[in-house]
A and B are shown apart, each in its own frame.
Chain A
Amino acid sequence: QQQVKQSPQSLIVQKGGISIINCAYENTAFDYFPWYQQFPGKGPALLIAIRPDVSEKKEGRFTISFNKSAKQFSLHIMDSQPGDSATYFCAASNNNYGQNFVFGPGTRLSVLP
Chain B
Amino acid sequence: DSGVTQTPKHLITATGQRVTLRCSPRSGDLSVYWYQQSLDQGLQFLIQYYNGEERAKGNILERFSAQQFPDLHSELNLSSLELGDSALYFCASSISGGLSTDTQYFGPGTRLTVL
Contacts and interface: CB of A to CB of B under 8 A. Distances in A.
B18 to A, nearest CB: 24
| Chain A interface bracket (under 10, 10 to 19, 20 to 34, 35 or more) | 20 to 34
A44 B90 contact: yes
B33 A100 contact: yes
Given A51-B101, A93-B100, A95-B98, A100 B106 contact: no
Interface in A10-42: 31-32, 34, 36, 41-42
Interface residues of B, number: 29
Interface in A45-68: 45-46, 49, 51
Given A99-B56, A100-B56, A94 B45 contact: no
A98 B43 contact: no
A32 B103 CA distance: 11
Interface of B: 2, 4, 31, 33, 42-45, 48, 50, 55-56, 58, 90, 92, 94, 97-109
Given A89-B43, A95-B99, A102-B45, 11 more contacts: A31-B100, A32-B101, A42-B108, A42-B109, A43-B109, A44-B106, A45-B105, A49-B101, A51-B101, A95-B98, A98-B50
